Amino acid sequence: MTKPGLRRGTNEIVVFGRHPVEAALASDWAEVARVEVVRSRPAPERDALRKRCSARGVVYEELSRTAMDAVTGAPRHDQGVAARVRLLRVMEIEALIDATKGRAARQPMRVLALDGVTNSQNVGMVVRSVVAAGFDGLLWPMVGAPWINGLVVRAAVGSIFECPIVCCESLATGLGRLQGAGFEVAGLEAGAEASIFETPPPHRAAYVLGSESQGLSADVAALLDRRLSIPMAAGVESLNVAVAAGLVCYAARGALRADRPAPR
């Protein structure tokens, strides 16, 4: 859950759960300001966290269960452990566009975007695929999508700290800015004739996936340079968006690796 008092889109968040907090402490892309633990957690666990915090110069504090509820807002999920974290890979879209200039212009780039996907668990699992496939960014609109919260972080299993998050006002605006920087925008649609597995990506590509129920919104669909599909056997209409995102990321990564000279 986003830290109270901070605006939507901020890179300062509250992370909760034992494994996400440990992942934040271990990541070079997460600046941990404070770790908070419920006093009723086992003493060995509290001692271990206190030592890790001390080694990193992080403030450690023990709270009551009631106080922790106010921090996380998720008593059923937080496991009595939370951390206040600043994400170091959150950027505005202009920063990504600037990275395409100069010598970097020769390098292929891949970006993923979600259109109307509001389930935090699905978003978190998509983050994992973006990081695992080595994509250059996940386009994250400030409207029409949940901002990074504790459930996104839990589903991402630590990958949220490594993910290049590219902020834009609306998805259509962000995609338009990428098109102006030379990106081709490809949308996943069930009825598209071209397969994601048989279509090499252009030098710069942004892939857009819609929700399972609504698909792509009209303003985003109007921007598409290309429509692609994931072939499926008869009787299956769609895949979970997180599953589809994993397939798209790895299909694009395979083609991306072919763009580069083979190692000698």
Same domain, 97 and 164: yes
Could you tell me the CATH number of the domain that includes residue 19? 3.30.1330.30
- Find the helix packing angle between 241-259 and 120-132, rounded to 10°: 20
Q: Is residue 211 part of a domain?
A: yes
Last residue of a domain, one of 68, 87, 106: 87
Domain holding 52, by residue range, is 12-87
The count of structural domains within the chain is 2
Q: Is residue 154 part of a domain?
A: yes
The beta-strand segments (E) located in 117-235 are 137-141, 165-168, 184-188, 204-210, 226-228
Q: Is residue 20 part of a domain?
A: yes
Place of tokens 């490809």: 186
List, for the chain, all residue ranges whose pLDDT scores fall below the cut of 50.
Answer: 1-8, 258-264
Same domain, 103 and 79: no
Residue (of 195, 182, 118) closest to 152 by Cα position = 118
Same domain, 96 and 49: no
Same domain, 38 and 112: no
Same domain, 58 and 29: yes
pLDDT in tens, 136-167: 999 999 888 888 988 899 899 889 999 999 99
pTM for the whole thing?
Answer: 0.86
Same domain, 40 and 169: no
Q: Is residue 7 part of a domain?
A: no
Same domain, 234 and 140: yes
Could you tell me the CATH number of the domain that includes residue 250? 3.40.1280.10
In total, the chain counts a number of residues equal to: 264
Same domain, 63 and 96: no
Same domain, 120 and 201: yes
Q: Is residue 6 part of a domain?
A: no
Determine the pLDDT at residue 262. Answer: 40
Q: Judge whether 168 and 223 are in contact, CB under 8 Å.
A: no
Three-state DSSP state, 188 = strand
Last residue of a domain, one of 87, 113, 137: 87
Same domain, 78 and 99: no
Backbone φ, ψ for residue 186 (5° rounding): -115, 130
**Cβ atoms within 10 Å of 18's Cβ, excluding its own:** 15
Q: Is residue 72 part of a domain?
A: yes
pLDDT in tens, 170-182: 999 999 999 999 9
Same domain, 136 and 225: yes
